Amino acid sequence: MNIPEVKVPRVVIVGCGFGGLQLASGLRNANVQVVMLDKNNYNTFQPLLYQVATAGLEADSIAYPIRKIFKNQKNFHFRWCEVTGVNEANSVVETSIGSLQYDFLVVATGSTTNFFGNADFESNAMPMKSVTEALDLRSRILQNLEEALLTSDIKQQEALMTFVVVGGGPTGVELAGALCELKKHVLPNDYPELDLRKMRVILVENSAELLGAMSEINQQKAKKYLEDLGCELWLKTGVAKFDGKQMQIRDGKILQTSNLIWAAGIRGVPIAGLPPDCITPRGRIVVDEYNKVASTRNIYAIGDVAMMPQPNFENGHPQVAPVAIQQASLLAVNIVRVQHHKELVKFVYQDKGVMATVGRNKAVVEAGKLKFGGFLGWFAWMALHLMLLVGFRNKIVVFINWLWNYINYDRNIRLIIRPFKKDKV
């Protein structure tokens, strides 16, 4: 792998998501060598993937080259590769480009779509957990609208124009709202020959409410915002089957649709070679209050892939960015404390709140006892996401796109750059 040999501990970080990025930055001035391994050469700002999928942003405005992020960090090295496993006995991580010795190994591989073992959904539904998946989804939406123009079969046309989003969490709510805004403000200008009254956006949620982590008042606000935009809400509804042409819900009802977007769950992405008893059924790695993997000497896990049982979080912390950032920040401190033989600091999650946007001037925010929505919530949502974006250029590009879209009700990136091949699903 051609990593320089140095006389300081080597910290190998697998994954450059929120956690990996924060950890590497936190070790900037530490007396360690930082080696980051990732299957992509860029960091992705996942909260805005849905805007790439709905033509609000281009992919390069939410992705940033890893090497550029750390270009001034002297103790940092990056290698683009797939991690295939770990040999814990010999402190070696195995990759597609060779093996590497480590003193500390940190698994920050994040999460992927959880289809809950349903092969139909995995084969035919559209996920949205990566830049490539978001681009595929954008192409598929636009291609189906183009195909709807060509058919004289009314039922087929309606199926091509029916968009089902499964999952009533923040991702599902935000995606459904964006699709409704496309239908209302953008698509009528692009497709005057289509009767867009036939276009349906349906949000399917298994439970009785949307945004289950939020208070009832904000759940109701989100529900009203979506209904005002024309979204159909199918609550207390479970999806049983989807073959790419029709969806069947658990009560037997059939819906003709060519578009089912899966936002109903995530699972961790552990690496091979870890003790099997430390991996939960949902792919999360059990760690202690210092983020060390159970039954190992020097392997740690942070973020979505980590499961730290604590009194208020018996099933682990929520799989959200603030958890990953806070765990990474503390682990950077604890790695330095290990070197100096100091007592380690236990992790305590500081809940900063939760937010979700539904559309223009429509968002819900909770921070402690503070609960608000509407334009103020939407503004707070935008400000926070701009602040968290990596790279000054990306912040400016996203801000200009949002400003243009706000003024003109337009989304300029309705481009089928690489046509989606349906046999990929």
Q: What is the pLDDT of residues 10-29, one digit of tens each?
A: 999 999 999 999 999 999 99
287 strand-pairing partners = 293
Q: How many CB atoms lie within 10 A of CB 96?
A: 12
Mean pLDDT on 114-125: 92
241 and 303 belong to one structural domain? no
Mean pLDDT on 128-133: 94
* Active-site residue identified among 174, 181, 205, 366: 174
31 and 17 belong to one structural domain? yes
The verdict on residue 1 lying in a domain is no
Read off the amino acid at residue 156: Q
The verdict on residue 421 lying in a domain is no
Question: Is the pLDDT reported for residue 146 higher than 50?
Answer: yes
CATH assignment at residue 145? 3.50.50.100
Structure tokens at 253: 């009802």
CA distance 8 to 91: 15
Give the model's pLDDT for residue 408: 81
193 and 141 belong to one structural domain? yes
Instruction: Name residue, tokens 């796109």.
Output: 401
The verdict on residue 381 lying in a domain is no
Question: Is the pLDDT reported for residue 196 higher than 60?
Answer: yes
Mean pLDDT on 360-379: 93
Structure tokens at 81: 């590769």
Q: How many CB atoms lie within 10 A of CB 161?
A: 25
Choosing from 210, 231, 264, the residue where a domain stops is 264
Instruction: Domain count for the chain, please give it.
Output: 2
Q: Which domain holds residue 317?
A: 10-113+266-339
Give the model's pLDDT for residue 423: 56
The verdict on residue 425 lying in a domain is no
178 and 293 belong to one structural domain? no
Do 17 and 42 contact (CB within 8 A), yes or no? Answer: no
Question: Is the pLDDT reported for residue 425 higher than 50?
Answer: no
Digit-coded pLDDT (tens) for 375-409: 999 999 999 999 999 999 999 999 998 998 888 87
The mean-pLDDT minimum among 136-145, 152-161, 194-203, 397-406 falls in: 397-406
The verdict on residue 252 lying in a domain is yes
CA distance 330 to 23: 9
172 and 286 belong to one structural domain? no
Structure tokens at 326: 């806070």
49 and 83 belong to one structural domain? yes
Q: Is 90 exposed, middle or buried (0-12, 13-18, 19+ CB in 10 A)?
A: exposed
Rounded to 10 deg, the angle between the 374-388 and 392-408 helix axes is: 150
Which band of pLDDT confidence, cut at 50, 70 and 90, is reported for residue 101?
A: very high
- Average pLDDT of every residue of the chain: 94
253 and 140 belong to one structural domain? yes
Choosing from 219, 245, 264, the residue where a domain stops is 264
Do 12 and 106 contact (CB within 8 A), yes or no? Answer: yes
Residue 193 is among the residues annotated as catalytic for this protein? no
The verdict on residue 384 lying in a domain is no
241 and 271 belong to one structural domain? no
CATH assignment at residue 318? 3.50.50.60
Which band of pLDDT confidence, cut at 50, 70 and 90, is reported for residue 417?
A: confident
243 and 232 belong to one structural domain? yes
254 and 281 belong to one structural domain? no
Mean pLDDT on 92-118: 96
- Torsion 356-16-265-176 (CA) sign: positive
Question: Is the pLDDT reported for residue 422 higher than 70?
Answer: no
Q: In the 3-class helix/strand/coil scheme, how is the chain assigned residue by residue?
A: CCCCCCCCCEEEEECCCHHHHHHHHHCCCCCCEEEEEECCCEEECHHHHHHHHCCCCCHHHCEEEHHHHCCCCCCEEEEECCEEEEEHHHCEEEECCEEEECCEEEECCCEEECCCCCHHHHHHCECCCCHHHHHHHHHHHHHHHHHHHHCCCHHHHHHHCEEEEECCCHHHHHHHHHHHHHHHHHHHHHCCCCCHHHCEEEEECCCCCCCCCCCHHHHHHHHHHHHHHCCEEECCCCEEEECCCEEEECCCCEEECCEEEECCCEEECCCCCCCHHHECCCCCEEECCCCEECCCCCEEECHHHEECCECCECCCCCCCHHHHHHHHHHHHHHHHHHHCCCCCCCCCCCCCCEEEEEECCEEEEEECCEEEEHHHHHHHHHHHHHHHCCCHHHHHHHHHHHHHHHHHCCCCCCCCCCCCCHHHC
The verdict on residue 206 lying in a domain is yes
Choosing from 339, 365, 392, the residue where a domain stops is 339
The verdict on residue 281 lying in a domain is yes
Give CA separation, 38 vs 112, 194, 355, in Å.
15, 44, 29
30 and 136 belong to one structural domain? no
The fraction of the chain above a pLDDT of 90, given in percent, is 88
104 and 148 belong to one structural domain? no
pLDDT: which is higher, 31 or 417: 31
Digit-coded pLDDT (tens) for 233-290: 999 999 999 999 999 999 889 999 999 999 999 999 999 999 999 999 999 999 999 9
